[in-house]
């Protein structure tokens, strides 16, 4: 461009040169920042890859996948074990009631007792032990879902109600 054309521009050429110099300076700062970040990234990559080649990385990845498969199998086994434990827990006796009483007025002490043992579904039995001078007699009555087919004595009924949680 010749000098006459520069003079025809609506702005002063000095401002144009200063603007281009500022843009160049900003671009130089951006390039320096990018170089610093690239160097950091290269250092991280170098540290990660130090002493490793593609084969050892593949081995590490395969080991991790085998460990994950083993953990999944263990998790499956643990879940099965928990299911079995819960099933066994429901069928185990977990509700109890006991009433001690004196079966015969002439005997001292409450040597007789009625005991109810129930599972999760309120099924089980009532055990009645009657102590007398001639001996000890044990009777058992089945309980199905909190009900019996046989008439219960008052002590047996109290023990069953304790086990059902009606009273303590």
**Is pTM, for the whole model, over 0.85?**
no
Q: What is the DSSP string of 132-163?
A: -SS-EEEEEEEEBTTB-SSPPPHHHHHHHHHH
pLDDT per residue as tens digits for the range 1-30? 556 666 677 778 788 899 999 999 999 999
Minimal CA–CA distance to 101: which of 159, 41, 160? 159
**Angle, vertex CA 92, rays to CA 91 and CA 93, nearest 5:** 120
Alpha-carbon distance of 167 to 116, in angstroms, equals 13
CA distance 31 to 33: 5
DSSP structural state of residue 89: H
Q: For the segment 106-153, what is each residue's pLDDT rounded down to a tens digit?
A: 666 788 999 999 998 899 999 999 988 888 899 999 999 888 888 998
Structure tokens at 85: 């434990």
Which whole number is the average pLDDT over 36-50?
Answer: 87
C-beta separation of 103 from 113 below 8 A: no
């Amino acid at each position: 461009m010749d000098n006459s054309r520069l003079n025809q521009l609506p702005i002063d050429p000095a401002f144009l040169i200063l603007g281009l110099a500022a843009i160049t300076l900003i671009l130089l700062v951006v390039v320096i920042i990018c170089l610093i970040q690239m160097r950091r990234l290269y250092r991280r990559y170098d540290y990660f890859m130090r002493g490793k080649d593609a084969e050892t990385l593949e081995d590490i990845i395969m080991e991790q996948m085998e460990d994950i498969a083993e953990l999944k199998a263990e998790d499956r086994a643990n879940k099965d074990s928990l299911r079995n434990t819960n099933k066994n827990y429901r069928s185990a006796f977990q509700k109890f009631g006991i009433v001690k009483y004196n079966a015969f007025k002439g005997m001292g002490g409450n040597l007789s007792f009625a005991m109810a043992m129930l599972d999760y579904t309120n099924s089980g039995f009532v055990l009645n032990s009657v102590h007398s001078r001639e001996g000890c007699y044990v009777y058992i009555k089945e309980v199905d879902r909190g009900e019996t087919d046989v008439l219960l004595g008052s002590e047996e009924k109290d023990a069953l109600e304790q086990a059902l949680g009606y009273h303590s």
